[in-house]
Amino acid sequence: MNNKIASRLVLLALSVFTSFIISANDDQALRKSALSIIGTIPATMPGSANDTEAMVALGEKLYFETNLSANRTQSCNSCHNILNNGHGVDGLSTSTGALGIQGRRNAPTTWNAGFQISQNWDASAKSLSEQAMGPLLDKKEMALSSEKQAVRRLKKAGYKKMFEAVFPADDKPLNFINITKALAAFQRTLITQDRFDEFMAGDNSALSALEKEGFLTLRKNGCTSCHSGPLMGGQFVMKLGVVNPYENTQDKGLAEITGREDHNFLFKVPPLRNVGNTGPYFHDGAVNDLEEVVFLTGWHQLGIELSDRDVAAITAFLQSLDNKKPYTPAAQSN
């Protein structure tokens, strides 16, 4: 862990040096700098080559299926809303499950989820399909009693023929694993598009001067040493409170999975794509305001007090990452 932090500090120093020689008015140099640490979002997600249209359509139907919760009141979309320009979240600090039990972690967005190295705040699920297993059976979430109950519910609801069509090689196509595979296939279609992508494609006018300044400010202060890659995050875990401790010390993060003390307070670095629309922020949903979370992240992770100008510039840049491609239900897209 110490080696990882040391590596991030080296990247911080390089970021500061590089930012001094790039002007917000030099679009070509700024684009080159951004390409080296961020890049652009790929057109397709890993694993999507094996997804058929029928599998995606089945997964889409399952995403909104309330039969997959104990009392038939909730679907995946309840906590990860994508309808009506929804951003894959519910806007709550923490969510309440089907049985009325309050969770303790903020619901992450389902947009771009499949690009991340793992799922959940504690990186406990290694794939979208593995992640889908958890909420269906978790008493704090959809609270089904067993995998068999999920299968029985869907069979009664008329899904048998759909599963047979999507998974024709299986002896019993309607099974729990295939439920999660279909859900994963649909989620692999949830890919954002934003003005930063347009700038990276060559449109210098896609970003304002303040937004360009915000990117340089992010890099100058070392934020991109963790918030890197196409999503600007989601690629590894990092301690929350590297320099100044985070107030919530009850949630130990990855350590609760591994039992290792050196994993205390390790959480997956959250992606910044569409972050302006996915609050509240932090793993516990403790902060509602984007400018406040920018300032607090600088304090907890880097030990710096960002100026009002820096906070405003960074926030402006983050808003250039707002998704411009809302979800369109299959019935409307045909």
Residue 230 belongs to domain with CATH number: 1.10.760.10
Q: Are 47 and 61 spatial neighbours (Cβ–Cβ below 8 Å)?
A: no
Residue 19's pLDDT is what? 46
**What percentage of the chain carries pLDDT values higher than 70?**
92
Q: Are residues 15 and 128 in the same domain?
A: no
Of 60, 65, 141, 213, the active-site residue reads 141
Average pLDDT (101-125) is: 98
Q: pLDDT band at residue 17, thresholds of 50, 70 and 90?
A: very low
Domain count, the chain: 2
- Confirm whether 324 is domain-assigned: no
Residue 333 forms part of a structural domain:
no
Residue 10, pLDDT > 60, answer no
Average pLDDT estimate for 109-133: 98
What is the dihedral sign for C-alpha 214, 326, 121, 116? negative
Q: Looking at residues 160-169, what average pLDDT do you find?
A: 99
Considering the domain boundaries, does residue 330 fall inside one?
no
- Determine which helix (DSSP H) or strand (DSSP E) holds 293, and give its type and residue range: helix 290-297
pLDDT at 49 over 70: yes
- On average, the pLDDT of the chain sits at 94
Contacts of 299 (CB under 8 A, 6+ apart): 243, 244, 305
Integer Cα distance of 227 and 233 in angstroms: 4
Q: What is the mean pLDDT of residues 188-197?
A: 98
How far is it, in rounded angstroms, from Cα 252 to Cα 18?
A: 35
- Using the 3D structure, point to which of 157, 187, 217 is the last residue of a domain: 187
Sign of CA dihedral 113, 139, 100, 267: negative
The pLDDT confidence band at residue 332, using thresholds 50, 70 and 90, is low
Q: Label residue 3 by pLDDT band (50, 70, 90).
A: low
Domain range spanning residue 204? Answer: 2-41+193-319
Interval 172-198 mean pLDDT: 99
Q: In the prediction, which pLDDT does 18 show?
A: 47
Residue 113 has pLDDT above 70, yes or no: yes
Q: Average pLDDT for residues 230-238, to the nearest whole number?
A: 98
Q: CB–CB of 136/146 below 8 Å? A: no
Residue 334 predicted with pLDDT over 70: no
299, part of any domain: yes
Mean pLDDT calculated for residue range 164-169: 98
**pLDDT above 90: percentage of residues in the chain:** 91
Using pLDDT thresholds of 50, 70 and 90, give the confidence band for residue 330: confident
Residue with the larger pLDDT of the pair 104 and 1: 104
Do both 259 and 202 map to the same domain? yes
Asked if residue 154 is part of any domain, the answer here is: yes
Q: What is the pLDDT of residue 25?
A: 72
pLDDT digits (tens, 9 = 90+) for 245-286: 999 999 999 999 999 999 999 999 999 999 999 999 999 999
Q: Are residues 179 and 55 in the same domain?
A: yes
What is the distance of C-alpha 168 from the center of its chain? 32
DSSP lists the bridge partners of residue 77 as none
Which pLDDT value is given to residue 7? 53
Residue 325 within any structural domain of the chain: no
Same domain, 197 and 246: yes
Q: Which of 9-13, 175-179, 231-235, 318-322 has the lowest mean pLDDT?
A: 9-13
Torsion of CA 287, 324, 212, 33, to 10 degrees: 100
Average pLDDT on 152-180 reads 99
Whether 153 and 179 map to the same domain: the answer is yes
Check whether 93 has a pLDDT greater than 80: yes
Q: Do residues 54 and 176 both lie within one domain?
A: yes
Looking at the structure, do residues 221 and 292 belong to the same domain, yes or no?
A: yes
The answer to whether residues 138 and 213 belong to one domain is no
Residue 54 in any domain: the answer is yes
Residues 231 and 267 in one domain: yes
Residue ending a domain, choose from 138, 155, 187: 187
pLDDT top residue among 331 and 210:
210
Given a contact cutoff of 8 angstroms between Cβ atoms, the answer to whether 170 and 193 are in contact is: no
Tell me, yes or no, whether 149 and 205 share the same domain. no
Domain boundary among the residues 158, 187, 216 is at 187
Judge whether residue 80 has pLDDT over 60. Answer: yes
Query: Could you confirm whether 141 is annotated as catalytic?
Result: yes
pLDDT at 331: 57
The pLDDT, as a whole number, for residue 14 is 47
pLDDT at 20 over 50: no
Check whether residue 101 and residue 73 sit in a common domain: yes
Looking at residues 21-38, what average pLDDT do you find?
87
pLDDT grade for 2, boundaries at 50, 70 and 90:
low
Q: Are residues 202 and 268 in the same domain?
A: yes
